[in-house]
Amino acid sequence: MCVYTYAYGCVCVCVCIYVYTKKNIVHTPKQYTIGAFYSVLQYGIVLDAGSSHTALFIYKWRADKQNGTGIVTQHSECHVKGGGISSYAGEHGGAARSLEPCLDQAARDVPKDRHSSTPVYLGATAGMRLLQLSSPQQSAQILQEVEQKLRSYPFDFKGAAILSGEDEGAFGWVTVNYLLENFIKYSFVGRWLSPGRGTVGALDFGGASTQITFATKEPVEKRKGGVNLRLYGQHYSLYTHSFLCYGRDQVLKRILARLIQAQGTSGTITHPCYPAGHSQKVSLNSIFSSPCTSASPGPQADPQAELTIRGTGHYQHCLGNVTQMFSFNTCSFSRCSFDGVFQPNVTGSFMAFSAFFYTHSFLQEVTGVSVTTPSQLEDLLLVAPEQKSRLQDYCASAVFMQVLMLRGYGFDEKSFPQVSFQKKAGGTSVGWALGYMLTLSNLLPAESPVLRKALTLGAWGPSCSCLPCSLLLHCCQRQRSTVQQTDLHFNIIKHILEPT
């Protein structure tokens, strides 16, 4: 019976498709070849100049659908070797030269006949925000040198700027919901439709800052915390906040700074967040040169002095040190996250990316593995060989993530399973870069686009045999959530540091 029903459904759907496309057929000129299709692609380039590194992303879309109706996808990406552009402070031309290999690759990846029409943007985030605080002249010099370098390439240079933390959070939210098709979706009948589902919040954990952004119906009590967007005819009220100095790299420095200030600058410093037996040397200058750790290690301390950091692997002590970085007792609003910052209650689903994803992946990879000796640490290097230089920091960043998400942002047993940890969505890297380009390139209209023409019969033909199967499955099964629910068990961290 099921076979006959299935076959009958296939025939009915194919007949409906044929009738519909017969009435709405759009004849394609014979000269419209495959090569011509690719010639109408438009490209855009965004350089994400983060605190720890710079990444270049190339996006593409149909050039005849620029008014918000083109589907933008990632074409390619390139990761600049070395640190972020802020790390070249005091090194004349260093930041600009570091970008050359990726810009050269972009010149190869984008067709030459599209170079002059390809916009290129550079957005610098928390690393440059910190440098702007400590040395405005050096940050301005780096931006000027980078701009000159970008102008020397055959693209359409649009600007190089330092993003505010709130902009970074909002653009990340736009990226997440654009990739998940929460704003608008292109249907199989050739129309742009509103999916009719809620949006997803964005959690970004960078090297020098962390951002939380989500739609809320609650009034935003702080002046800079609210963002109002109108996209595709829909109004979105967002809460967003960026916590400077709460990014992964700066958090690790702040933990070390607290331990050094408590234990002194002579002898060995014990670190409860490092696995027992782990040892490394650090210079005082590498820790206390950041605006996030501006407090002096001591009047007699030599900035060039090296200290030995030895891990003790004590979860409770690690948790205590990390928790002390937050202030949960001061709040002049109806509700705060931490450090006196207003935040509404978290609602709905969230996507966590950047260092959130990498830390979560690390916890998954080492589930059930205890790290108590250097030899066991070496065993874990086989699991994550690309993270060799930073493996010892994952326990500290995981404990920080625990405090940030559970006590800081207020996720609980009900809301935490709604958080998805992802690096990419639909083949596109998740971050603020895509949202930045979509906004600046006017690819996100305020009003909903008009209905589009149906696809040609030729376009329907090859998919006719597959479409009924999908439709029947859709009718027989409940729609699955786009965001995969991931449950992170933070007690794994304790077992890593303190084996039973």
pLDDT at 461: 36
Please check whether residue 163 is in contact with residue 123, taking contact to mean a CB–CB distance below 8 angstroms.
yes
Could you tell me the pLDDT band of residue 93, with boundaries at 50, 70 and 90?
Answer: very high
Does residue 174 fall inside a structural domain?
A: yes
Same domain, yes or no: 124 and 200: no
pLDDT tens for 12-49 read: 444 444 444 344 333 333 333 444 444 488 999 999 99
Query: In this model, does residue 163 exceed pLDDT 60?
Result: yes
Higher pLDDT, 265 or 331: 331
Same domain, yes or no: 179 and 311: yes
Distance CA 430, CA 404 (A): 21
- Give the start-end residues of each E strand in 294-367: 306-311, 350-354
For residue 406, what is the domain's CATH number? 3.30.420.150
Query: In this model, does residue 91 exceed pLDDT 60?
Result: yes
Distance CA 4, CA 177 (A): 40
Could you tell me the pLDDT band of residue 427, with boundaries at 50, 70 and 90?
Answer: confident
Could you tell me the pLDDT band of residue 318, with boundaries at 50, 70 and 90?
Answer: very high
Strand order across the 350-354 sheet: 226-231, 234-244, 209-215, 201-205, 350-354, 419-421
SS3 of residue 481 by DSSP? coil
Query: In this model, does residue 369 exceed pLDDT 90?
Result: no
Same domain, yes or no: 157 and 175: no
Does residue 330 fall inside a structural domain?
A: yes
pLDDT at 153: 98
Residues of the binding site for ATP? 207-211
Distance CA 32, CA 50 (A): 42
Domain count for the chain: 2
Bridge partners of 54, per DSSP, are: 49
pLDDT at 398: 87
Same domain, yes or no: 158 and 291: no
Angle of the 467-476 helix axis to the 2-23 helix axis, nearest 10: 120
Does residue 468 fall inside a structural domain?
A: no
In the block, residue with structure tokens 């942002």 = 409
User: Mean pLDDT in the chain?
Assistant: 79
Residues of the binding site? 207-211
pTM of the model: 0.78
Query: In this model, does residue 239 exceed pLDDT 50?
Result: yes
pLDDT tens for 343-363 read: 999 999 999 999 999 988 887
pLDDT at 363: 76
For residue 104, what is the domain's CATH number? 3.30.420.40
52 C-beta neighbours (distance < 10 Å), count: 19
Residue 454 φ then ψ, to 5°: -70, 160
Query: In this model, does residue 244 exceed pLDDT 70?
Result: yes
What's the domain range around 154?
Answer: 42-162
pLDDT tens for 432-464 read: 999 998 888 777 666 665 533 333 333 333 333
Same domain, yes or no: 140 and 86: yes
pLDDT tens for 139-154 read: 999 999 999 999 999 9
Q: Say which amino acid occupies 380.
A: L
The residue from 162, 191, 215 where one domain ends is: 162
The residue from 120, 144, 162 where one domain ends is: 162
Angle of the 136-151 helix axis to the 126-134 helix axis, nearest 10: 130
Same domain, yes or no: 193 and 154: no
Please check whether residue 84 is in contact with residue 130, taking contact to mean a CB–CB distance below 8 angstroms.
no
Most confident of 224-233, 326-335, 490-499: 326-335
The residue from 138, 162, 186 where one domain ends is: 162
Does residue 443 fall inside a structural domain?
A: no
Distance CA 145, CA 162 (A): 14
* Cα-based distances in Å from 332 to 222, 337, 341, 342, 408: 10, 11, 8, 8, 16
Does residue 464 fall inside a structural domain?
A: no
Same domain, yes or no: 92 and 195: no
Active site residues: 168
Does residue 321 fall inside a structural domain?
A: yes
Average pLDDT over residues 218-238: 85
Same domain, yes or no: 186 and 315: yes
Total number of residues shown for the chain: 500
* % of the chain residues with pLDDT over 70: 71
- Distant-in-sequence, close-in-space partners of 266: CB < 8 Å, separation ≥ 6: none
76-85, 224-233, 381-390, 486-495: range with lowest mean pLDDT: 486-495
Same domain, yes or no: 218 and 268: yes
Same domain, yes or no: 246 and 145: no
**What is the separation, in whole angstroms, between the first and last Cα of the chain?**
57
Alpha helices for 152-247 (secondary structure H)? 165-179
92-96, 181-185, 325-329: range with lowest mean pLDDT: 181-185
Could you tell me the pLDDT band of residue 102, with boundaries at 50, 70 and 90?
Answer: very high
Same domain, yes or no: 154 and 227: no
* % of the chain residues with pLDDT over 90: 52
Query: In this model, does residue 200 exceed pLDDT 90?
Result: yes
Does residue 452 fall inside a structural domain?
A: no
Please check whether residue 199 is in contact with residue 215, taking contact to mean a CB–CB distance below 8 angstroms.
yes
Q: Say which amino acid occupies 266.
A: S
Distance CA 189, CA 88 (A): 52
Does residue 8 fall inside a structural domain?
A: no
Average pLDDT over residues 280-297: 86
> In the 8-state DSSP scheme, what is residue 462?
G
Same domain, yes or no: 321 and 368: yes
